[in-house]
Amino acid sequence: MDFLNALVALSNFVLVPGIAYGSQLALGALGVTLIYGILRFSNFAHGDTMAFGAMVAVLVTWWMQGIGIGLGPLPTALLALPFAILGCMALLLVTDRLVYRFYREQKAKPVILVIVSMGVMFIMNGLVRFIIGPDDQRFSDGERFIISARDFKEMTGLDEGLTIKTTQGITVIVAVIAVALLFWFLNKTRTGKSMRAYSDNEDLALLSGINPERVVMYTWLIVAALATTAGVLYGLDKSFKPFVYFQLLLPIFASAIVGGLGSPLGAIAGGFIIAFSEVTITYAWKKVLEYIGAEPSGLVQLLSTDYKFAVSFVILLIVLLFRPTGLFRGKSV
């Protein structure tokens, strides 16, 4: 019984939140890894792209709530998601047209594009705060829990409760669908293959009649969809605050690099590795340990949650030191 209680407590505080957070990071890291592989630079504006997409979703959700459109038990934000993706696509295409295309025409080196993306980051950051303000915004509605702690206790008779929030369930389902779609697109469709070809060898892609501008456009469109989805899911799960998305950049980059930059599979694995490391290291293990018979004197919390970003940073450093290509042999050396 105690063992079961330990397992439930572990699921409640580590596994479930870890899986949800990992899915969000994986979606974010997929966007980063796609841009790195195809456009050949690390996009520092990715966090703020997520913020912009999520912001559009928040605004559309409020509007829908205002005129009484809803999804019943599901959050209205799911209905707003397609509009948010369209908004984010428009932003990225305009940015590409105004900024990145110029540097492509100059055949600028990737490192220059990295710095350019930092400039774009500041602009997007300002844009989002200008439109919606720097404060916390709540936009989730509908049923809050799939299983609440009390229901779980009544059902099982255990002392420990397991809570699964609706947003966590949705996060995992949406992430699985998005990833499946992405892999199908990259491996099975003509356009997806042309994107991989362009990533592999730009010159030869040109010789094969693949239009580079077309490839770049599709990349931005896909990245917009991924970033917005990740942003909205994160916002639903926690809350929407522009600055938090900027901070998310670190765990997202850590995920992409740990998995191996340029490898979509690696980005997903990296997302979960970072998420679980963060959650397990900042979790107070006292309760779980007590159930399995140990009598710890303290909380057995390795790091305060305030320092959670330190975890991604340390993992990032370790990976760069000992296995710079990442777990899935990405392209960085």
Partner 1 sequence: MSGGSDNPWQDGRGNKDHSIANPRGTGTMTPAHRKSGATKKVEGGPFLIGDTMTGGYGKGPDILHDCTIAVEAGQIAVIVGPNGAGKSTAMKAVFGMLDVRSGSVRLDGEDITALSPQDRVVKGMGFVPQTSNIFTSMTVEENLEMGAFIRRDDISGTMEQVYDLFPILKEKRYQPAGELSGGQRQQVAVGRALMTKPKVLMLDEPTAGVSPIVMDELFDRIIEVSRTGLPILMVEQNARQALEIADKGYVLVQGRNAYTGTGKELLADHEVRKSFLGG
Q: Name the site residues for partner 1 (rule: CB under 8 A).
A: 36-37, 40-42, 103, 106-114, 190, 193-194, 196-197, 199-212, 257, 261-262, 320, 324, 331-333
**Nearest of 281, 280, 302, 298 to residue 290 by alpha carbon:** 298
Burial category of 243 from C-beta neighbours within 10 Å (exposed 0-12, middle 13-18, buried 19 and up): middle
The distance of closest approach from Cβ of residue 203 to partner 1 in the complex, given in angstroms and rounded to an integer, is 5
Q: Scanning the structure block, which residue is given the tokens 């993306």?
A: 117
- Residues 6 or more apart whose Cβ sits within 8 Å of residue 78: 71, 170
For partner 1, the closer of residues 13 and 198 by Cβ is 198
Long-range contacts (CB closer than 8 Å, 24 or more residues apart) made by 187-195: 191/218, 195/38, 195/219
Supply the minimum distance, in Å, between the C-beta of residue 24 and partner 1. Answer: 22
Q: What letters, b where the CB count within 10 A reaches 16 and e where it falls short, cover 222-239?
A: bbbbbbbbbbbbbbbbee
Euclidean distance between CA atoms 266 and 263, whole angstroms = 5
284 CB-near residues (< 8 Å, 6+ apart) = 299, 300, 301
* Pick 158 or 320: Cβ nearer partner 1: 320
Decide whether 211 or 305 has the Cβ nearer to partner 1.
211
Least distance from partner 1 to the Cβ atom of residue 295, Å: 44
Closest approach of partner 1 to the CB of residue 21, in Å:
23
Nearest-approach distance from CB 194 to partner 1, in angstroms: 6
DSSP-H helix ranges across 67-189: 77-95, 101-105, 110-132, 149-156, 166-188
Of residues 164 and 205, the one with the C-beta less far from partner 1 = 205
C-beta of 186 vs 233, nearer to partner 1: 186
Which of residues 168 and 219 has its CB atom nearest to partner 1 in the complex?
A: 219
Going by DSSP bridges, is the β-strand pair 145-147/164-165 parallel, antiparallel, or unpaired? antiparallel
Q: Which is nearer to partner 1, 97 or 138 (CB)?
A: 97
CA distance 19 to 24: 9
State the minimum distance, in angstroms, from the CB of residue 193 to partner 1.
Answer: 6
Task: Please report how close the Cβ of residue 275 comes to partner 1 at its closest, in angstroms.
Answer: 20
For partner 1, the closer of residues 211 and 247 by Cβ is 211
* Closer residue to partner 1 in complex, CB, 17/326: 326
Q: How far is the CB of 97 from partner 1 (least distance, A)?
A: 17
First to last CA, the chain: 49
Q: Are 215 and 38 in contact (CB under 8 A)?
A: yes
What is the nearest approach in angstroms of partner 1 to the Cβ of residue 36?
5
Q: What is the residue whose two structure tokens read 């293990």? A: 285
- 8 Å CB contact between 242 and 55: yes
